């Protein structure tokens, strides 16, 4: 295993892009009163990935 390259949270960033790309074309995500299960799931995936990346990088 090589741990040379340490870019800024590649996995979390990909999850984040997926979430915002969904929200960009999802009416439910753009409506504060409405709830979007997909949007919440994507955000949860991003949050999990971000936490894993941070904890794994910090050591």
Dihedral over Cα of 35, 39, 42, 46: its sign? negative
**Least distance in angstroms from the C-beta of 43 to Zn ion:** 10
Among 9, 19, 29, 53, binds Zn ion (CB under 5 A): 29
Half-sphere exposure of 50 (CA within 13 A, CB side): 10
| Residue number, 33 or 58, with CB nearest to Zn ion | 33
Measured from the Cβ of residue 11, the count of other Cβ atoms closer than 10 Å reads 16
Only one of the segments 7-15, 34-42, 51-59 lies at the binding site for Zn ion (rule: CB under 5 A); that segment is: 34-42
**Least distance in angstroms from the C-beta of 40 to Zn ion:** 8
């Amino acid at each position: 295993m090589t741990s040379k390259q340490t870019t800024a949270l590649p996995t979390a960033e990909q999850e984040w892009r997926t979430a915002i790309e969904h929200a960009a074309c999802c009416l439910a995500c753009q409506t504060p009163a409405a709830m979007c299960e997909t949007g919440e799931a994507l955000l949860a995936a991003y949050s999990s990935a971000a936490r894993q990346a941070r904890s794994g990088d910090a050591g």
